Homo-oligomer: A and B are copies of this chain.
Amino acid sequence: MPDSGRIAERLERLWALASGPGGGADRPAYSPAEAEAMLLVAGWAREHGLEPGIDAHGNLWALPAGWSGAIVTAGSHVDTVPDGGRYDGALGTVLGLELVADLEPARGDLEAGAGERARAGLLVCAAEEAPRFGAGTLGSRLMAGTIQRSALSQLRDAAGVTAAEALDAYLRELRELPRVKPPLDRWRAHAEVHVAQRRALRTLGVVTTVASPRRFAVQVIGEAGHSGEIPMAARHDALAAAAEMVLAVEAAAHRQPDETVATVGTVAVSPGALSVIPGEARLGIDVRGISSESLAEIDAEIRASVAEIADRRGVRATVEQVRGGDPATLDGDLVDAALSAAREHGIHASPTWSGAGHDAQHIAALAPALLLFVPLHGGESHTPQEGASMDEILQAATVMNAVLSACALDSRRGV
């Protein structure tokens, strides 16, 4: 049985580890604070009889000592956005240990039973959050091979530190843990519980599809000039053109189904002085959806609008897709198993989708992956006010443990 006291205590210890100026959890990707959190979790894993180790990408694996048979894992991540919440990442990590507590204590029985029965372990992925390097789920994507290690040298934080340098420093902080290889060939299933990031979800959510973000960079080149000396009719103001593009992106998303959204999250102008008409503007666009057709439509609409606005205003504009992403469909058997387990335990659960990216969608390329959402309470996700109810947390743990317990016993699952 998941232990609510232990869950709450561990969430509190992770929460208290490092705070941002807004009072939220502050453990950036590949930072000393993330490393410290990993060490804290590694200590808890040892209490459960697991042997913690770190893979080359910085992911924490804690597996039964000396066991070379099949495994099932659960976990999430321990890095956070700046001033993040108490549950994001931390909750799934702490519940990964509850899975181990549920499946592992009767080790005598397990060992007596079978070589084919999988044992339970913990996987905490590194650098899941995007803000520091402008790219998230680094640990799981490196493991799945959908991002190359060389790409880390191209990602820089605001201080100019590359993700490659940050990973090296982070691995040095964790040098007390043995280096391990991901046990890909004996991995039967993985599960991640995450606090929901969409208020509309009011039951336990069993995720069927994850919208992978597509990212676009728009550059507008106009003509700089003295703000007091160029008449309005002679201007080619890059920011005014970009402002129309922001509104065009918004309008294009409004014409799509609710699950398709588009956001201009970053804007920069050059030279950025009050006395100079902006000569250049850059926008960063994030587009997500669970329908490939809808994504193709909005992509085309955004490109057409940018071209039309640039042409009409006499500026040059380019749209570059800087990150591709197609919706990911998660394992249907695990979805069905979770919905069944919920029914058996009298827990309200429903199939749902995720607009946010999660490690589970990348792990899905390596092992069947289950992603469960606990309803969001309190304030928004990714803020210090983010909340969750312990009753609903225990329900998620119960369903996850039931599904992975069945996987552990199901030797048809290959490994």
* Cross-chain contact A355 with B240 (CB below 8 angstroms): no
Cβ of A91 to closest chain B Cβ, rounded Å: 16
- A380 lies within 8 A of chain B by Cβ: yes
Closest B residue, CB atoms, query A354: B228
- A233 lies within 8 A of chain B by Cβ: yes
0/1 per residue, A226-259, Cβ < 8 Å to B? 1111111100010110111011001001100010
* Cross-chain contact A130 with B273 (CB below 8 angstroms): yes
* Cross-chain contact A265 with B261 (CB below 8 angstroms): no
Segment touching B, from A25-33, A145-153, A276-284, A340-348: A276-284
| Cα of A15 to Cα of B106 in the assembled complex, Å | 82
* Cross-chain contact B244 with A380 (CB below 8 angstroms): no
* Cross-chain contact B246 with A267 (CB below 8 angstroms): no
Closest B residue, CB atoms, query A285: B274
Kindly identify, within residues 337 to 360 of chain A, every residue whose CB is under 8 Å from any CB belonging to chain B.
354-357
Cβ of A236 to closest chain B Cβ, rounded Å: 12
Report which of B230, B258, B285, B356 forms a contact with A228, defined as CB distance below 8 A.
Answer: B356
Return chain B residues, CB-CB under 8 Å to A276: 81, 131, 263, 265, 382
- A288 lies within 8 A of chain B by Cβ: yes
Given contacts A250-B232, A274-B284, contact A265 B382 (CB under 8 A): no
| Cα of A361 to Cα of B276 in the assembled complex, Å | 20
Give the most central of A130, A246, A357: most B CB within 10 Å. A246
* Cross-chain contact B229 with A356 (CB below 8 angstroms): yes
Return chain B residues, CB-CB under 8 Å to A225: 380-381
Return chain B residues, CB-CB under 8 Å to A254: 232-233
Return chain B residues, CB-CB under 8 Å to A253: 232
- A272 lies within 8 A of chain B by Cβ: yes
| Cα of A73 to Cα of B82 in the assembled complex, Å | 57
Cβ of A84 to closest chain B Cβ, rounded Å: 11
Given contacts A228-B286, A274-B130, contact A267 B247 (CB under 8 A): no
- A188 lies within 8 A of chain B by Cβ: no
- A134 lies within 8 A of chain B by Cβ: yes
Return chain B residues, CB-CB under 8 Å to A82: 271
Give the most central of A82, A223, A355: most B CB within 10 Å. A355
Q: Which residues of A contact B (CB under 8 A)?
A: 81-82, 130-131, 134, 136, 196-198, 200, 211, 213, 215, 223-233, 237, 239-240, 242-244, 246-247, 250, 253-254, 258, 261-269, 271-278, 284-286, 288, 354-357, 380-383
